[in-house]
């Protein structure tokens, strides 16, 4: 063979090899941090959910207005007294390794969520006692007590279905090479580098998936993320901070879409969790005074440029479960002072624990100034997030500043926080009437009935204020105009059905 031929062949091979994705569309998404293990049973980090949206389909999904819609399951039917629910499954669905999705697989997955040591889904669907396989495409979940919010749990990681065969093969290490039934299958993961997934040819809804390949790139520095979006290195970035919005809006090649989040930013107050609850927990009027001294609108305006939403209840004002009879109160320093006088407190002083995260540090300073005007001295103590949450558990706090990412079902935003001995009730607040209402609400199927029950909880909580809810964020997604068909969802997750890259 002549040298020229060899050379040409070599060049041809190299060109082909160097550009295998010539005709492929590749969507590059910037993540705010590196996801943890990609195993739905043990995953905790929010960013993991963004990757799961591509990899793993769930039994149900939610619409932007939080209605439950079919995904891997096509319908549900509650049994008598909401003690069981029958799910009908979608036929013809395959896992990425070719294994069939059926009732057996659902049973395997649910049992895995419940029995794996270290499973974080146990607290979400722990009420499931057993799973019955009725036929290949029908399962029944038997519950130890009625639990309507269970369905909402099945729209997230607890409802994600992984291939039983792969799970048995990989065991603990499943998270390093996940095999699910979503629109994309796992290709590779470079830790803290990138996660690459590509289109699954046998996806049940493949007609609606237009993009061939997705690369998730964790970039912790927001300036670098934004710069990469502007330079075209990234096509989309998630959870954009309000201070970066102006820059994106000014750029003609970029767009930003925002939607109210499911969660809220809050200050839990120690009401009766040990000795530190003495001062603030002694009289609800003290907590009401603190609440009245805060001007939520000014906070949202000055720190967040009015991009966020002032809040005072466990759901945002735009939620159907919001109690319109108790709107966000205007600041009233005089009333706050009066309440403190009535409670017989002079020179109220307390400490607020704040993690180093910028948003809350800045707001804490504003709060300090606002409370000072009402004669309340609030000291700021900085603590790392993990340490702060642990201190909260132990009762080693007077007030701390945290947030809740929110759940599609209102129960997920209130139950464990306010029920006596609730898993996240660090305040150790306890009110039997409230408990009765909350329990009844999670056992009632009819949304209108539930709203009435939650409405009855509002006056109790507004009076006792075991936590101060301050604002709700908007989840902003920044993206290149080349990306089309994007719909924002309140959970901030990018869904790939209908997404196109031109």
Residues that bind another protein (CB under 8 A): 34-39, 42, 44-45, 117-120, 122-123, 172-173, 175-176, 189-193, 217, 219-228, 230-231, 233, 241, 243, 246-247, 298, 302-303, 356, 358, 361-362, 365-366, 369, 380, 382-384, 386-387, 389-390, 393, 404-405, 416, 423-424
Residue with Cβ nearer another protein (81 or 176): 176
We find the least distance from the C-beta atom of residue 358 to another protein, in angstroms, to be 6
C-alpha–C-alpha distance, residues 127 and 13, integer Å? 58
List, in order, residues 6 or more apart from 187 with CB less than 8 Å away: 196, 197, 198, 213
C-alpha–C-alpha distance, residues 136 and 160, integer Å? 18
Task: Locate 39 and state its tokens.
Answer: 């195993």
We find the least distance from the C-beta atom of residue 308 to another protein, in angstroms, to be 15
Handedness of CA 120, 91, 497, 188 (dihedral sign): positive
* Number of Cβ atoms within 10 Å of the Cβ of 356: 11
Residue with Cβ nearer another protein (63 or 123): 123
φ and ψ at residue 37, rounded to 5 degrees = -60, 135
Residue with Cβ nearer another protein (82 or 241): 241
Residue with Cβ nearer another protein (340 or 501): 501
We find the least distance from the C-beta atom of residue 204 to another protein, in angstroms, to be 29
φ and ψ at residue 74, rounded to 5 degrees = -100, -25
We find the least distance from the C-beta atom of residue 175 to another protein, in angstroms, to be 5
C-alpha–C-alpha distance, residues 49 and 322, integer Å? 26
We find the least distance from the C-beta atom of residue 102 to another protein, in angstroms, to be 28
We find the least distance from the C-beta atom of residue 287 to another protein, in angstroms, to be 23
We find the least distance from the C-beta atom of residue 71 to another protein, in angstroms, to be 24
C-alpha–C-alpha distance, residues 140 and 83, integer Å? 10
Residue with Cβ nearer another protein (115 or 349): 115
HEC sequence for 354-388: ECCCHHHHHHHHHHHHHHHHCCCEEEEEECCHHHH
Residue with Cβ nearer another protein (93 or 240): 240
Radius of gyration of the chain, Cα coordinates, nearest whole angstrom: 25
Residue with Cβ nearer another protein (144 or 192): 192
* Partners of 102 in beta bridges: none
Q: Are 97 and 161 in contact (CB under 8 A)?
A: no
We find the least distance from the C-beta atom of residue 363 to another protein, in angstroms, to be 9
C-alpha–C-alpha distance, residues 209 and 184, integer Å? 9
Residue with Cβ nearer another protein (389 or 465): 389
């Amino acid at each position: 063979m002549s040298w020229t031929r060899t050379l040409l062949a070599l060049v041809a091979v190299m060109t082909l090899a160097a550009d295998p994705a010539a005709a492929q569309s590749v969507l590059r998404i910037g993540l705010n941090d590196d996801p943890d293990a990609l195993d739905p049973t043990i995953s905790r980090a929010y960013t993991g959910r963004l990757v799961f949206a591509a990899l793993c389909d769930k039994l149900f999904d939610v619409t932007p207005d939080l209605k439950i819609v079919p995904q891997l399951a096509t319908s549900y039917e509650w049994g008598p007294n909401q003690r069981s629910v029958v799910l009908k499954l979608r036929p013809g669905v395959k896992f990425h390794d070719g294994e069939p999705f059926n009732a057996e697989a659902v049973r395997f997955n649910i049992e895995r969520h419940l029995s794996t040591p270290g499973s974080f889904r146990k607290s979400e669907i722990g009420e499931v006692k057993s799973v019955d396989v009725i036929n290949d495409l029908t399962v029944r979940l038997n519950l130890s007590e009625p639990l309507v919010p269970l369905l909402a749990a099945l729209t997230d990681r607890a409802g994600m279905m992984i291939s039983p065969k792969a799970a048995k093969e990989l065991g603990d290490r499943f998270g390093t090479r996940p095999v699910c039934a979503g629109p994309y299958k796992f290709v590779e993961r470079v830790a803290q580098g990138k996660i690459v997934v590509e289109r699954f040819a046998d996806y049940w809804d493949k007609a609606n998936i237009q993009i061939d390949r997705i690369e998730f790139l964790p970039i912790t520095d927001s300036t670098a993320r934004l710069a990469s979006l502007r330079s075209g290195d990234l096509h989309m970035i998630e959870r954009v901070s309000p201070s970066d919005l102006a820059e994106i809006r000014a750029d003609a090649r970029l767009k930003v879409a925002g939607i109210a989040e499911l969660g809220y930013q809050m200050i839990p107050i120690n009401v009766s969790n040990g000795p530190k609850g003495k001062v603030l927990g002694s009289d609800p009027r003290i907590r009401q005074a603190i609440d009245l001294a805060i001007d939520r609108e000014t906070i949202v305006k000055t720190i967040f440029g009015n991009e966020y939403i002032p809040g005072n209840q466990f759901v945002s004002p735009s939620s159907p479960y919001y109690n319109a009879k108790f709107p966000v109160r205007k600041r009233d320093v005089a009333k706050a002072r009066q309440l403190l006088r009535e409670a017989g407190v002079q020179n109220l002083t307390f400490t607020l624990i704040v993690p180093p995260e910028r948003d809350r540090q800045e707001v804490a300073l504003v709060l300090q100034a606002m409370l000072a005007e009402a004669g309340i001295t609030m000291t700021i103590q900085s603590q790392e997030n993990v340490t702060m949450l642990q201190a909260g558990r132990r009762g080693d706090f007077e007030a701390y500043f945290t947030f809740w990412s929110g759940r599609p079902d209102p129960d997920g935003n209130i139950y464990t926080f306010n029920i006596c001995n609730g898993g996240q009730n660090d305040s150790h607040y306890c009110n039997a009437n409230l408990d009765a209402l909350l329990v009844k609400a999670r056992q009632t199927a009819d949304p209108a009935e539930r709203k009435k029950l939650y409405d009855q909880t509002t006056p109790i909580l507004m009076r006792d204020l075991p936590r101060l809810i301050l604002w709700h964020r908007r989840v902003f997604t920044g993206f290149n105009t080349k990306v089309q068909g994007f719909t924002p969802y309140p959970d901030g997750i990018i869904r790939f059905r209908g997404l196109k890259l031109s």
